[in-house]
Amino acid sequence: MTGMTRREFVRAAAGAAAMGAGSALLGAEAPVTRPILEEPSGSKLPQWRGFNLLEKFDAHHNRPFGEDDFAILAEWGFDFVRLPMSYLCWTDPRDWLNLRERPLKDVDRAVELGRQYRVHVNLNLHRAPGYCVNPPKEPLDLWTDDKALDACAFHWAHLAQRYKGIPGSGVSFDLLNEPSDMKEEQYVRVVRRLVEAIRAEDPDRLVIADGLKWGNEAVEALVGLGIAQSTRGYAPSRVSHYHASWVEGAGEWPEPTWPLEYIVKEKDGTEKRESWDKDRLRRQQIEPWQQLQAKGVGVHVGEWGAHNRTPHPVVLAWMADCLDLWKEARWGWALWNLRGSFGVLDSGRKDVEYETWRGHPLDRRMLELLRES
């Protein structure tokens, strides 16, 4: 660990006392009372609220995690970061079992910053050996190729050994980002193998698995593994991904409203009216996951938010309904992202009256909505 032995690091994490030296960076916002982090389990997660930090999202933008981000989140009253990472940030692409220590120390640093600022750190393989929801496609297929699965298990076993002894209130593992629409048994086979690899090194580590169909469908076949599950908050995509360049057809969608109504043309040429509102979100995005909760599985919303092309009043109205539903369900969440087109800083929206905050354009209305949730 950066600047200390592992034993010292674990002792400091267990102490969970002061905010650390970075507290001098705080003070511009109204003071926030920082609760002691709850000890989570696979059956019950705290209502963690926070953001995705993208410094190791891909190997082309492989940067250290910044202390300022942790200080900002602590100041604003948030207690969670999800780190969606590519294994290629610390791996020789010609040899998946050859790990590079320097970029892994960046992850160590993020874990330590989480301890200092009482922010839970959730480590996620957004790109794992054999699978990523984003292009380019991996050379091997995690779901069918044992070599890819062996490599993925190796990476999680290494991370489990690396952070063994750090309390579950400090670090959790989110196995794989957004598995696609595949057979449940394919996914369960991989998850079981990865959980076994982690628990062989650290039996007590909190593990979370994303739902199927890109995080949207609860996986009942994983009940009994003692792990939590992560859902998504992007429905309906016509609100969250309006004019998103990476979504096929999104540039042709009409400007959304909330509640939302639109016409879909079927293959036979007929037209079908679709509508979304808070009640449909509850029926479709909340209630199936509550059935999973009732079976002893903790639930968290690992990603959510709306791209900067969606009209800002629509975004805020939709976000308010999502936040109300998650608060009722006692779920936490992590906005995609802190800085960027979905975030509260540097979002690039054209219809927001930004506040200049420490040199950055801040979407104050969105921030206050999140803080009040």
Q: 15 or 109: whose pLDDT is higher?
A: 109
In this predicted structure, the answer to whether residue 8 has a pLDDT above a threshold of 70 is no
Render pLDDT for 148-201 as a digit per residue (tens, 0 to 9). 999 999 999 999 999 999 999 999 999 999 999 999 999 999 999 999 999 999
Please give the mean pLDDT across all residues of the chain: 91
Q: Are 88 and 127 in contact (CB under 8 A)?
A: yes
In this predicted structure, the answer to whether residue 7 has a pLDDT above a threshold of 80 is no
Of 185, 333, 303, residue with least CA distance to 237: 303
Residue 37 confidence (pLDDT):
54
Residue 264: pLDDT band with limits 50, 70, 90: confident
Q: Has residue 1 been placed in a domain?
A: no
Render pLDDT for 197-231 as a digit per residue (tens, 0 to 9). 999 999 999 999 999 999 999 999 999 999 999 99
Q: Has residue 87 been placed in a domain?
A: yes
Residue 38: pLDDT band with limits 50, 70, 90: low
Host domain of residue 39? 6-372
Residue 292 confidence (pLDDT):
97
> Helix 6-15 and helix 101-117: axis angle, to 10°?
20
Residue 5 confidence (pLDDT):
42
- CA dist., res. 107 & res. 215, Å (int): 24
Structure tokens at 100: 């590079």
- CA dist., res. 171 & res. 37, Å (int): 11
Of 25-34, 291-300, 329-338, the poorest mean pLDDT is in 25-34
Residue 29 confidence (pLDDT):
56
In this predicted structure, the answer to whether residue 24 has a pLDDT above a threshold of 80 is no
Q: Has residue 216 been placed in a domain?
A: yes
Count of domains forming the chain: 1
- CA dist., res. 171 & res. 108, Å (int): 11
Of 181, 177, 58, 75, residue with least CA distance to 119: 75
The Cβ of residue 260 has, within 10 Å, a number of other Cβ atoms equal to 17
CATH of the domain at 154: 3.20.20.80
In this predicted structure, the answer to whether residue 32 has a pLDDT above a threshold of 90 is no
Amino acid at 293: Q
Using only C-alpha atoms, the chain has a radius of gyration, in whole angstroms, of: 20
CA pseudo-torsion sign 181, 185, 189, 192: positive
Q: Where are the alpha helices (DSSP H) in 118-172?
A: 146-162
Residue 81 confidence (pLDDT):
98
Of 174, 231, 172, residue with least CA distance to 206: 172
Q: What is the pTM of this model?
A: 0.90
How is 71-88 classified by DSSP, letter by letter? HHHHHHT--EEEEEEEGG
Paired sense of beta strands 271-276 and 80-86, if any? unpaired
Residue 39 confidence (pLDDT):
81
Q: Has residue 287 been placed in a domain?
A: yes
Render pLDDT for 267-325 as a digit per residue (tens, 0 to 9). 887 889 999 999 999 999 999 999 999 999 999 999 999 999 999 999 999 999 999 99
Between vectors from CA 2 to CA 63 and to CA 112, what angle results, nearest 5°? 75
- CA dist., res. 338 & res. 342, Å (int): 8
Residue 128 confidence (pLDDT):
98
Residue 209 confidence (pLDDT):
98
Residue 251 confidence (pLDDT):
94
Q: What percent of the chain has pLDDT over 70?
A: 90
- What CA dihedral angle connects 347, 348, 354 and 360, to 10 degrees? 60
Render pLDDT for 128-139 as a digit per residue (tens, 0 to 9). 999 999 999 999
